[in-house]
Amino acid sequence: MKLEVYNINGEATGRSVELPEDVFGIEPHEHSVWLDVKRYLAAQRQGTHKSKERSEMSGSTRKLHRQKGTGGSRKGDINNPLYRGGGRVFGPRPRNYDIQVNAKVRRLARRSALSAKAKAGNIIVVEDFSFEQPQTKAFSNILRALKVADKKPLTVTGAYDKTLYLSCRNLPQADIAPATDLNTYQIMRAGTLILAESAIEKIKEVNEF
């Protein structure tokens, strides 16, 4: 698949690049995408939730009244979950939500997500660019020039660029990531992918079997 290369002013440069078919041209495998997105979202959970159960409450352990003969229900101590302020029955406990997904499945998921974006025509290739210092307005102007400012753009760079990251950070709809850190969730969440020329080769290296 060939795509035209644009500059940061949104103008065609007259050049084109070939996107590797084994990364951007496969038939998307939806189940692997689902697995990888589920793995990513599960990994974002801290798992530090905790509530006190009956044995962990502070309070008297004296039996409130005798077992039989009162005409009322059986009761234990004041920490009984039926009482206000008592312990919680089967409350949440700290746990690890991580899900293991094979590396080959994760690569297949990324390739499937990239292929889906390419098939939908939601990929733009731009010349490599950078700033001398963080400039949110300049980055926003580039997105407007490319006509993707309102399409949840994800800019993929060849390498981590702190200046570009800081320039993009305050834009609510935009996101940026180096090609080596790109994940399936980011790709699927984005409306349009903006690929720097240097990122294409990096994406191929990371996602080839």
Q: What is the pLDDT of residues 141-197, one digit of tens each?
A: 999 999 999 999 999 999 999 999 999 999 999 999 999 999 999 999 999 999 999
Q: What is the pLDDT of residue 209?
A: 64
For the chain, give every residue range classified as CATH 3.40.1370.10.
Answer: 2-29+101-207
pLDDT band at residue 1 under the 50/70/90 scheme: confident
pLDDT of residue 31: 97
Average pLDDT, rounded, for the chain: 94
- Using a pLDDT cut of 70, give the percent of the chain over it: 100
Cα 90 versus chain centre, distance: 31
Long-range contacts, 39-44 (Cβ 8 Å, 24+)? 39/98, 39/99, 39/100, 39/101, 39/106, 40/183, 40/184, 40/185, 41/185, 42/97, 42/98, 42/99, 43/97, 43/98, 43/99
pLDDT tens, residue by residue, 2-40: 999 999 999 999 999 999 999 999 999 999 999 999 999
Give 75's pLDDT tier (boundaries 50, 70, 90): confident
User: 3-class SS at 176?
Assistant: strand
pLDDT tens digit sequence for 81-126:
989 999 999 999 999 999 999 999 999 999 999 999 999 999 999 9
What tens digit of pLDDT does each residue of 33-53 get? 999 999 999 999 999 999 999
CATH C-level class of 2-29+101-207:
alpha beta
